[in-house]
Amino acid sequence: MEYRRVKDQENYDAVSQKDIESPGERSLSSKFTAAATSSLSTAGGSKGKNSWKLKSIVTLALTLLTSSQAILIVWSKRAGKYEYSVTTANFSVEALKCLLSLIALYRTWNSQGVTEDNRLSTSFDEVSVYPIPAVLYMVKNLLQYYIFAYVDAPAYQILKNLNIISTGVLYRIILKKKLSEIQWAAFILLCAGCTTAQLNPSSDHVLQTPIQGWMMAIVMALLSGFAGVYTEAIIKKRPSRNINVQNFWLYIFGMLFNLVAICVQDFDAVMNKGFFHGYTFITILMILNHALSGIAVSMVMKYADNIVKVYSTSVAMLLTAVVSVFLFGFHLSLAFFLGSTVVSVSVYLHSVGKPQPQK
């Protein structure tokens, strides 16, 4: 950089000397400088426009995927029951994510070649840490099918924000990360918003969601939080390792544990009726949705910023509620609207209230 700066200064001095000697060349130099400045300005504007366009596409994709996730699970039911095996659906999601990771790795190998950080071969010590988050994610993902026996799609979108609290607390305990006062206040607001959204003024029951639904939501939040924190600890243990390699091994163990779940829970049904029995077009869309959601989050982290996740989460809650009104006859009450607004504000505060590094 210093060499380039010296050379530029020498060139500038040379041009300046010529300008002094020749007024005609000074005019030509001015035109060249103006043209170059205009070209750089156009390039900068084009780059900024492309960046904004990419952020918009990623935000829209994440919002649609997040809002449709719960809707597709509920929509895949027939007469209030799943005609397909939820364990095979979960296995299919992990297999699809594993395939997508391999495709991404193949593109990396073609562009960068095979290196120590992006090769699939690994040691036992490295791969032995993946079973823990894999089994946690498996249980959490299976629970999200069964929770809809107690909650509807809009309530699920509200309650799943509880994982922000579990993740924050576990970050503090396991990774020793400090939380700001704003973030602790956001946790309180989040609890208040979730409770407000579940108020049921037209019934003897104070809350619309029964205690079983709340317990399952809390368990899912704890599982999701612990798995997320543990996975981040694994990634930070070797930050240079290609993320697709790490995802590949995580999904491989996810497939293995879901295969065990199939054998334990649905072995007879799968053997007698087939692996894909009961699958419909909606079921396939649901599996694609679950697989692509993880990729969308990764794209947000790479091409956008955390605030995009906040906006997507907030819009997804309201969008899920509106769509559920037409598909499932959901009653959009004032309590739900106020509660979802409070949840959106709390998610925003948690995002912007991160402790600033000390200088």
User: Considering the domain boundaries, does residue 138 fall inside one?
Assistant: yes
Residue 359 within a domain: no
The parent domain of residue 305 ranges over 5-352
Is residue 327 domain-resident?
A: yes
- In-domain check, residue 358: no
Residue 109: inside a domain: yes
The predicted-structure confidence for 98-144, as pLDDT tens digits, reads as follows 999 899 899 989 998 888 888 888 888 888 889 998 999 899 989 98
pLDDT at 32: 42
Per-residue 3-state assignment (H helix, E strand, C coil) for the chain: CHHHHHHHHHHHHHHHHHHHHCHHHHHHHHHHHHHHHHHHHHHHHHHHHHHHHHHHHHHHHHHHHHHHHHHHHHHCCECCECCCCHHHHHHHHHHHHHHHHHHHHHHHHHHHCCCCCCCCCCCHHHHCCCHHHHHHHHHHHHHHHHHHHCCCHHHHHHHHHHHHHHHHHHHHHHCCCCCCHHHHHHHHHHHHHHHHHCECCCCCCCECCCHHHHHHHHHHHHHHHHHHHHHHHHHHHCCCCCHHHHHHHHHHHHHHHHHHHHHHHCHHHHHHHCCCCCCCHHHHHHHHHHHHHHHHHHHHHHHCCHHHHHHHHHHHHHHHHHHHHHHHCCCCCHHHHHHHHHHHHHHHHHHHCCCCCCC
pLDDT computed for residue 314 by the predictor: 65
CA–CA dist 254, 90 (Å, integer): 9
Say if 333 falls within a structural domain: yes
Question: What pLDDT is recorded for position 94?
Answer: 92
Within a domain: 144? yes
Distance (Å, whole) CA 349 – CA 346:
5
Structural domains in the chain (count) = 1
Res 14: pLDDT: 46
Domain annotation covers residue 41: yes
What pLDDT is attached to residue 227? Answer: 84
Please list the rounded mean pLDDT of every run of 10 residues in the chain (359 residues): 42 44 44 47 56 69 81 86 92 93 90 87 86 91 88 78 78 77 81 74 62 87 84 78 86 94 92 91 92 73 54 70 77 78 79 66
Can you give the pLDDT at residue 191? 79
